[in-house]
Amino acid sequence: MKEEFAVDPAQLLVAASDFAQQPGAISDISAQDFLTRFPLPAIFGALQTDSSYPGLESALVECLERVFRTKYGASLIAHYMPFVMVGLGSDSQKVKRLACIAISCLLEHTDKRVSIQLVLQHSIYPLLLGCLIDGDEQVAAASTDAIKSLASYPEGMGIVFPENVNEATHLGYVAEKCTSLGRVRVLALIVKLFSISSSVASEISKSNLLSLLEAEVRNTNDTLVTLSVLELIYELVEVQDSAEFLSKTILLQLLISIISNGAAESILRSRAMMITGRLLCKENAFAFIDESSFKNVISAIDKRFEFLESQDADECECAVEALGQIGSSFQGATIILSNTPPTARHVVDAAFDRQQHGKQLAALHSLANIAGETRTGNNVLLTRVAEENLKSLIYDQASKTPKLIPSGLLLSVLQQGSEIRIAGYRLISGLVARPWCLIEIISRLEIIDIITDALTETNKIGMEARHKCCETVFGVFTSSSKLVNDPAYSGLASKLQEAISKGPYGARKRMEAQPTVATADRF
């Protein structure tokens, strides 16, 4: 067998390098032609025996990876499972990674039932877990992709989530037996699996695997490990179904404890704030998380401001951003503005404080969220108490400055740099739904001039934000027949409409250089 498939390593190195470096996607025909010249057994044999040729292993691994990613190449993997098994247990990290990729390609490009049966028959899953825990970062990532692909199918879920908690491949058992790095990798795998579908997320919840995250958050002895786990939870709460399943754990309570812990590292408190903000801003958060939990999070963040003003600017920035995320929902904004004193006061204070650019920028965007820039319809305006408090906070803030009235504050924002102006457009778009703010804006000609001037902004985001702001002001203004017919505002509607009709980039198009034709000079 070895003699039948023996090849010249030097010739194989050149051919594999050329194949791996082909531009674009590899076709089935190209892969078939290459394997006709160099059969897979010969390549596998070279990987195992010809380590004396510098660069051969890397070339063959890159070559085979491209072969396996074709449908033709993937169809051959089933016939060479023993070689794949050897690869998963190889001492070479490159070969291990290739073997993990081969399993992913097998599952993605061939019959699912057949490929999953092969995984069972050859005990591939325990080998993938070994690669996850003991391999380098690239091997761990490739193993994670293969396991994620396996769990994506109902037939594979039983392999990844065995019912017996004492099974050697049960992720809880695996995490308990490995090093701290291995545990973090297992947790990262759980988070990746959680994002596949609601059925997989439900299986993770039913298997009590989220308790592994709880245990790591409780353990504050290693800040780096805790921070790594918080980053995973941050990724976890991005999943649409996270509110439903996390509400069944104590993770939210643990995050509140971190926020309230003055002895904890500032970076841990900051991440905990950002995670709770991301979680509580979800549309379905109130369906699964009770109002008292919302209030506890907001209260914990509120109390941190007693220590933030003179200490950690980054933590303060995270705090106002978290409040803005929570306040993007109707319920969240109502709570932030209705408690006593309103927690939103911290956001308003920071939004018009020009001493710290980052904090002001975050606060302006957060205040825009609270004001309803991201909400629609009847959810823009809040309850009577919340609206009264919002108005009072802004008027009180204006009275403490030379601007005296809200229009002065808003104008000062629009007169700052591009980033701040963009946040200012969003803030005006949210606030203008209130009659008191509409009057403030349309009574200030300088504000109208800025939002109707297509030359104000030079980048795409700024142009679009200004144009949307102009549209919003126009829509609210023209909906009031009393104001439209008021002689004091004559011509305003047509000015806004003209600016809108140009589009966000309209004026820029006319500024492009135009070719000029001139009569040649004669001598």
CA distance 143 to 129: 7
Per residue, what are the HEC states of 131-171?
A: HHHHCCHHHHHHHHHHHHHHHCCHHHHHHHCCCCCCCCCCH
State whether the Cα torsion 307-311-313-314 is positive or negative.
Answer: negative
- CA proximity to 18, closest of 46, 37, 1: 37
Give residues with Cβ within 8 angstroms of 268, minimum separation 6. Answer: 223, 226, 227, 230, 258
Given a contact cutoff of 8 angstroms between Cβ atoms, the answer to whether 382 and 390 are in contact is: yes
Give pLDDT, residue 1: 37
Which two structure tokens, joined as six digits, stand for 334?
């109502």
Region 474-481 average pLDDT: 93
Are 1-159 and 250-397 equal in CATH topology? Answer: yes
Three-state helix/strand/coil letters over 395-445: HHHHHCCCCCCHHHHHHHHHCCCHHHHHHHHHHHHHHCCCHHHHHHHHCCH
* pLDDT-wise least confident of 20-29, 141-150, 168-177: 20-29
| pLDDT of 326 strictly over 80 | yes
Residue pointed to by tokens 């660069």: 55
Q: What are phi and psi of 264, to 5 degrees?
A: -75, 160
Cβ neighbourhood burial of 514 (10 Å; 0-12, 13-18, 19+): exposed
Query: From the centroid of its chain, how far is CA 493?
Result: 40
DSSP, collapsed to helix, strand or coil, labels residue 376 as coil
pLDDT at 211: 95
What pLDDT is stored for residue 94 in this prediction? Answer: 95
For residue 226, which of 194, 289, 284, 270 has the smallest C-alpha distance?
Answer: 270
Residues 112, 119: Cα–Cα separation, whole Å = 10
Whether 326 contacts 274, CB under 8 Å: no
Q: What is the mean pLDDT of residues 433-443?
A: 96
With a cut of 80, say whether residue 424 has pLDDT above it.
yes
Say what the pLDDT of residue 258 is: 95
Give the per-residue pLDDT at 5. Answer: 58
Is residue 172 a contact partner of residue 207, using CB atoms and an 8 Å limit?
yes
Lowest mean pLDDT among 41-55, 91-105, 180-194, 350-364: 41-55
Query: What pLDDT, on the 0 to 100 scale, is given for residue 45?
Result: 86
Alpha carbon 322 to its chain centroid, in Å, reads 15
- The pLDDT > 90 percentage for the chain reads 80
The confidence band for 404, taking pLDDT boundaries of 50, 70 and 90, is: confident
- Residue 507's pLDDT is what? 55
DSSP annotation of 298 reads H
Sign for the pseudo-dihedral over CA of 362, 363, 365, 366? positive
Does residue 489 carry a pLDDT above 60? yes
Which pLDDT belongs to residue 510?
47
Token duo for residue 481: 């027949």
- Report the pLDDT value the prediction gives residue 512, as an integer from 0 to 100: 47
CA Rg, the chain, in Å?
30
* Residue the block writes with tokens 């109130």: 286
- In contact, 199 and 239? CB cutoff 8 Å: no
* Residue 77 vs residue 283, higher pLDDT: 77
Q: Which two tokens stand for residue 431?
A: 């606030």
Which contacts qualify for 103-108: CB closer than 8 Å, 24 or more apart?
A: 103/77, 103/128, 103/146, 103/149, 103/150, 104/142, 104/145, 104/146, 104/149, 105/68, 105/69, 105/73, 105/74, 105/77, 106/74, 106/77, 106/78, 107/146, 107/149, 107/150, 107/153, 107/156, 108/74, 108/149
Beta-carbon count within 10 A of 408 CB: 18
146: Cα separation from own chain's centroid: 22
- The neighbour count for residue 501, using CB atoms within 10 Å, is 8
- Name the one residue in this structure whose structure tokens are 């990844």: 160
Whether 222 shows a pLDDT value over 80: the answer reads yes
Q: What is the mean pLDDT of residues 297-319?
A: 85
For the chain, give the mean pLDDT: 91
Residue 117's pLDDT is 95
Residue 79 has what pLDDT? Answer: 95
Eight-class DSSP state of 68: H
Query: Residue 56 in 3-state DSSP?
Result: helix
Domain limits of the chain?
1-159, 161-235, 250-397, 401-503
For the ranges 120-134, 426-440, 475-489, which has the lowest average pLDDT?
A: 475-489
What are the DSSP calls for 13-52, one per residue? HHHHHHHHT-SSPPPHHHHHHHHHHS-HHHHHHHHHH-TT
Instruction: Mention every residue, 6+ apart, whose C-beta is less than 8 A from residue 236.
Output: 191, 194, 213, 242, 246
By the 8 A CB rule, do 282 and 275 touch? no
Which pLDDT tens digit goes with each residue over 238-274? 998 899 999 999 999 999 999 999 888 999 999 999 9
pLDDT of amino acid 220: 73
**pLDDT of amino acid 3:** 42
Candidate CATH numbers 3.65.10.10, 1.25.10.10, 3.40.50.410, 1.20.120.330; the one for domain 1-159: 1.25.10.10
Which tokens go with 31?
């892969």
The top-scoring range by mean pLDDT among 12-16, 41-45, 355-359, 439-443 is 439-443
CATH node for 250-397: 1.25.10.10
